[in-house]
């Protein structure tokens, strides 16, 4: 009787375990059929962003630093200022050279006008000499004048012709120096204006400004330090322009398409805060291809390793403003692949610049205004 009870209990236990396994299998099958097969997830994801290397465009000595690590700066704010004494001297010299050139070119136009007037005078002298010779030629026919007077008249005509030819050549030379141009557009003035523009821009570039709003990191410059063109001084990180970079395995890419919605979570805020975005693009190659030392599978013993492909995911700016992320922070990404109508790769070129800054737009405008003022001040 006791063995019968134990056997019955064993059967009930096995039946319950079988039911649990079957229920779990059915539940997993339902989950996979309704949800799991339409989602690709990875925890190999992180926050990416632009790292703007701040560097000088002219060489100089640092006299002040306007921001330090972790400081927030606005677009156009002065980050580093260089000693501008030499730049001011160079600008003053270029401006004086431009003023002198304008006066010199103006004298060239005056000289060309003088030669034109003198040419008209020489032409009139030749006409009078030729008329005098004609009158004397008639008188010489009836011996009313001496032969000497006739020779003097002929000599006067030849001298007037020579003077006219000399003046014409000088007039042509003077006209060639100002032909098809104005005082403000003369090549010499344009060259002097270019030197003023170059000196003016060099002075403006002694102040290194922030190209965008962002946070300062990796400040490497010190006051009094001489810096060269292109030397990295600090890094600016615009945290309002972030995206996610998720690395999916090769066998997860079949259904990934541009525009698919993505849900992300970060250890920074925990699973209680969800970020939403969409797939912006898939990299044209695996991460190994772009590494410093790409793998060489054709040499040595080969072992297959599943490759991962970076996927760029856009983030919602409003969610970033409410819960700021940092570059490099780990993420977990879940892509909803229900809709596969989108392309796997981008097929259109960008219609406008992805990133731009207006802080350098007015540099040339201010230089041109200064050049026009100098030219106007030195013209009659």
Q: What is the pLDDT of residue 174?
A: 67
- In order of 54, 208, 209, the CA distances from 64 in angstroms are 15, 11, 12
Report the alpha-carbon distance of residue 84 to residue 200 in Å, rounded: 11
Report the alpha-carbon distance of residue 81 to residue 62 in Å, rounded: 6
Alpha helices of the chain — where are they, by DSSP H? Answer: 2-34, 85-141, 147-178, 187-204, 317-322, 361-377
CB of 367 closer than 8 Å to CB of 98: no
Q: Which domains does the chain have, with CATH numbers?
A: 86-202+365-377 (1.10.287)
| Residue-wise pLDDT tens digits, 110-150 | 877 777 787 788 787 778 877 776 776 666 555 666 667 76
For the chain, what percent of residues have pLDDT higher than 90? 46
CB of 264 closer than 8 Å to CB of 333: yes
**Full-model pTM:** 0.76
CB of 243 closer than 8 Å to CB of 314: yes
More confident: 201 or 172: 201
| Residue-wise pLDDT tens digits, 158-191 | 887 787 788 778 777 767 777 778 878 888 889 9
DSSP 291: S
| Residue-wise pLDDT tens digits, 241-298 | 999 999 999 888 888 999 999 999 998 998 889 999 999 999 888 877 777 777 777 6
Strands 60-65 and 226-227, bridge-based pairing: antiparallel
The 3-state DSSP class for residue 314 equals strand
Report the alpha-carbon distance of residue 278 to residue 313 in Å, rounded: 5
Report the alpha-carbon distance of residue 130 to residue 125 in Å, rounded: 9
How many secondary structure helices (H) and strands (E) does the chain include? Answer: 6, 14
Q: What is the pLDDT of residue 8?
A: 72
């Amino acid at each position: 009787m006791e063995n019968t009870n134990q056997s019955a209990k064993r059967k009930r236990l096995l039946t319950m375990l079988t039911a649990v396994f079957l229920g779990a299998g059915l539940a997993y099958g339902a989950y996979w059929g309704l949800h799991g097969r339409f989602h690709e997830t990875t925890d190999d994801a992180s926050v990416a962003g632009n790292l703007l290397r701040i560097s000088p465009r002219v060489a100089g000595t640092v006299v002040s630093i306007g921001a330090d690590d972790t400081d927030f700066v606005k677009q156009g704010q002065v980050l580093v200022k260089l000693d501008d004494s030499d730049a001011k001297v160079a600008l003053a010299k270029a401006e004086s050279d431009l003023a002198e050139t304008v006066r010199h070119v103006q004298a060239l136009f005056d000289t060309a006008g003088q030669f034109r007037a003198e040419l008209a005078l020489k032409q009139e002298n030749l006409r009078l000499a030729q008329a005098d010779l004609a009158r004397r030629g008639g008188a010489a026919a009836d011996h009313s004048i001496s032969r000497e007077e006739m020779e003097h008249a002929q000599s006067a005509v030849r001298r007037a012709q020579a003077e006219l030819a000399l003046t014409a050549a000088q007039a042509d030379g003077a006209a060639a120096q100002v032909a098809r141009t104005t005082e403000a557009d003369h090549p010499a003035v344009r060259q002097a204006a270019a030197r003023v523009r170059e000196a003016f821009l060099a002075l403006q570039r002694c102040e290194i400004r922030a190209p965008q709003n962002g946070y300062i990191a990796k400040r490497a410059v010190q006051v009094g330090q001489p810096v060269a063109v292109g030397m990295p001084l600090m890094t600016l990180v615009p945290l309002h322009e972030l995206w996610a970079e998720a690395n999916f395995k090769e066998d997860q890419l079949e259904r990934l398409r541009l525009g698919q919605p993505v849900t992300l979570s970060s250890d920074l805020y925990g699973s209680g805060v969800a970020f939403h975005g969409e797939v912006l693009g898939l990299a044209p190659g695996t991460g190994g291809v772009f590494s410093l030392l790409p793998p060489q599978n054709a040499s040595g013993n080969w072992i297959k390793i599943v490759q991962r492909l970076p996927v760029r995911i856009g983030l919602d700016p409003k969610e970033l403003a409410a819960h700021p992320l940092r570059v490099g922070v780990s993420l977990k990404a879940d892509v909803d692949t229900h809709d596969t109508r989108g392309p796997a790769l981008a097929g259109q070129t960008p219609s406008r610049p992805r990133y731009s800054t207006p802080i350098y737009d007015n540099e040339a405008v201010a230089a041109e205004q200064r050049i026009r003022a100098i030219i106007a001040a030195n013209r009659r």
